[in-house]
């Protein structure tokens, strides 16, 4: 089953490193060839906890690259 990830690239999230999250997922995707759908979005209503990420229906904020990859690994189990 594929995983849908939305990574916020709105200004607060961008300033707090959302690009690092995008790169981490892309790297991970390349390494294990998963079926992860990544979409950049403009706001997930968690600006105070930037950077924000939504995996399926759950929003995580702040999201750090390592935590994001751990969450993805958990979902893939």
Q: Which of 21, 24, 52, 72 binds ligand FES (CB under 6 A)?
A: 52
Shortest distance, position 27 Cβ to ligand FES, whole Å? 22
Comparing every residue's Cβ against ligand FES, the nearest one is 10
List Cβ neighbours of 29 (8 Å cut-off, separation of 6 or more). Answer: 36, 38
Cβ atoms within 10 A of the Cβ of 68, count? Answer: 22
Q: Are strands 36-41 and 3-8 parallel, antiparallel or unpaired?
A: parallel
Shortest distance, position 10 Cβ to ligand FES, whole Å? 2
Q: Which of 25, 46, 63, 68 binds ligand FES (CB under 6 A)?
A: 46
Give the interface with ligand FES as residue ranges (CB under 6 A): 8, 10, 12-13, 43-47, 50, 52
């Amino acid at each position: 089953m594929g995983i849908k990830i939305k990574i916020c690239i709105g200004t607060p999230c961008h300033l707090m490193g959302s690009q690092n999250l995008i790169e981490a997922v892309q790297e991970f995707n390349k390494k294990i060839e998963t079926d992860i759908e990544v979409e950049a979005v403009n706001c997930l209503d968690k600006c105070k906890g930037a950077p924000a990420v939504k995996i399926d229906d759950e929003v995580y904020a702040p999201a750090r690259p390592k935590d994001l990859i751990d969450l993805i690994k958990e979902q893939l189990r």
